[in-house]
Copies of this chain bind each other. A is one copy, B any other.
Amino acid sequence: MANMKEIAKMARVSLGTVSHVLNNSAVVREPVRLRVLEAVQAAGYQPSQLARGLRRDKTNMIGMIIPDITNPFFPAVVRGAEDVAFSNGYRLILCNTDNDHSKELVHLNELRTYLPAGLIVIPSNFSDLTTQAESYRRAGTGVVCIDRLPKNWSGDSVTADNEEGAYNATRCLLQFGHTKLATITGPLHLTNAKERLDGFKRAMREARLHLAPEYVQETTFDKQGGYSKTLILLRLIPRPTAIFAGNDMIALGALLAIREAGLRCPEDISLIGFDDLDLAETTNPSLSSVSQSGYQLGTTAARILLDRLEGDKGPAKHLVLETTLKIRHSVAAPPGAPRRNRASKGRRSTKPGLAEERA
């Protein structure tokens, strides 16, 4: 690969001048500028990002730390971030933590040695991101936290409006006439799981319905968890006629358990999930879900990061993205209820988009 020295020689100028042309860091007379540009063109020269990063004390890489790219919700987030990053000249280094905070720590330490321009992080379970991010910020590296927040997070963040989404989903179930509701939540130390439970409870409270503790089951955000906790719920007396699942994977497990128990969804039990994964449309019955745009989560986070890199020194941003309720075939009136109010296929609720900003 050609280097700057060769370009300098070709264009009969000094190293410094080449650099200035490439970075617009000083005015260079037009004829000289052109000569340099020509040489660059002719040699197919591209500056070494390593040397540049070393000298500038900052590269054009963005570290993206997520639990697991294999989890169907995350690819869209990554893609959103990559699109914005890429079109602004930044590249993504992808790291999976498997929700293991020690693996997260390894990544955080390791990434430092690349002098990344910034970090976009979906924190792991029991993440220690807050202290780590502090040291990054001291080094001038932006850190944006998305989807869920670690303990004491005070930096930039982008999340979905989990509380409101869950509230709307629950209200929908109530409007269908259900009174025996249950919920299967994700791990409640995760802020998103907690907020969804809060939304569920708010709707229940407003409807003046009592919520016995055994109707709230906590588990991991996966199919297996949804399956086993649903079996528990189905043994309760009275049996719940509607379940709000903390995410679609849990809902999927619930669907399995319901079917296996010889019950039908939605005739016997209605079900709403969260995330609106692609698979929600294709299950049997199709799964109702609180839709949040992972892609938008990613683009927004990257946008904030880039703004910071361009010098935005404002106070920490906490963006909250709106959700949309998608009612499909997994919701109906409870058994024995007068059957007005059939499930209307398709969207409802408000349009998606940037919502309120709590600063």
Within the complex, the shortest CB–CB distance from A56 to chain B, in Å, comes to 10
Does A309 make an interface contact (CB < 8 A)?
no
Q: Which residues of B contact A354 (CB under 8 A)?
A: none
Q: Which residues of B contact A59 (CB under 8 A)?
A: 50
Contact with B along A45-79 (1 / 0, CB 8 A): 01111110110000101000000111010111011
Q: Which residues of B contact A278 (CB under 8 A)?
A: 72, 279
Does A110 make an interface contact (CB < 8 A)?
yes
Residue of B nearest to A92 (CB): B94
Interchain CA distance A285-B283 in the complex, whole Å: 9
Within the complex, the shortest CB–CB distance from A93 to chain B, in Å, comes to 6
Does A25 make an interface contact (CB < 8 A)?
no
Q: Which of B96, B110, B139 contacts A1 (CB 8 A)?
A: B139
Does A113 make an interface contact (CB < 8 A)?
yes
Does A82 make an interface contact (CB < 8 A)?
yes
Copies of this chain per assembly: 2
A46–B109 contact, CB under 8 A? yes
Interchain CA distance A78-B95 in the complex, whole Å: 11
Contact with B along A83-100 (1 / 0, CB 8 A): 100100001111110000
**A residues contacting the other copy or chain, number (CB 8 A):** 44
Interchain CA distance A139-B61 in the complex, whole Å: 23
Q: Which of B68, B82, B115, B283 contacts A94 (CB 8 A)?
A: B82
**Interface set, chain A 17-59, CB cutoff 8 A to B:** 46-51, 53-54, 59
Instruction: Say whether chain A's binding surface is mostly helix, strand, loop, or mixed.
Output: mixed
Does A282 make an interface contact (CB < 8 A)?
yes
Does A114 make an interface contact (CB < 8 A)?
yes
Known A94-B92, A95-B91: A50·B252 in contact at CB below 8 Å: no
Within the complex, the shortest CB–CB distance from A225 to chain B, in Å, comes to 16
Q: Which of B74, B78, B92, B114 contacts A49 (CB 8 A)?
A: B114
Q: Which residues of B contact A151 (CB under 8 A)?
A: none
Contact with B along A264-305 (1 / 0, CB 8 A): 000000000000001100111100000000000000000000
Contact with B along A131-146 (1 / 0, CB 8 A): 0000000010000000
Q: Which of B46, B74, B86 contacts A112 (CB 8 A)?
A: B46
Residue of B nearest to A283 (CB): B282
Q: Which of B53, B86, B94, B282 contacts A50 (CB 8 A)?
A: B53
Residue of B nearest to A96 (CB): B82
Interchain CA distance A69-B92 in the complex, whole Å: 13
B282–A113 contact, CB under 8 A? no
Known A78-B69, A94-B78, A252-B282: A50·B54 in contact at CB below 8 Å: yes
Contact with B along A243-257 (1 / 0, CB 8 A): 000000000100100
Most buried by B among A47, A96, A255: A96
Known A50-B53, A50-B115: A93·B95 in contact at CB below 8 Å: no
Known: A61-B93, A83-B96. 4 other contacts (CB 8 A): A49-B114, A50-B53, A82-B94, A94-B94
List 28 contacting pairs A-B, 8 Å CB cutoff, sorted by A.
Answer: A1-B112, A46-B112, A48-B54, A48-B113, A49-B113, A50-B53, A50-B59, A50-B113, A50-B114, A50-B115, A51-B54, A54-B54, A61-B93, A69-B78, A69-B79, A69-B82, A70-B75, A74-B75, A78-B94, A86-B95, A91-B95, A92-B94, A94-B94, A255-B282, A282-B282, A282-B283, A283-B284, A284-B285
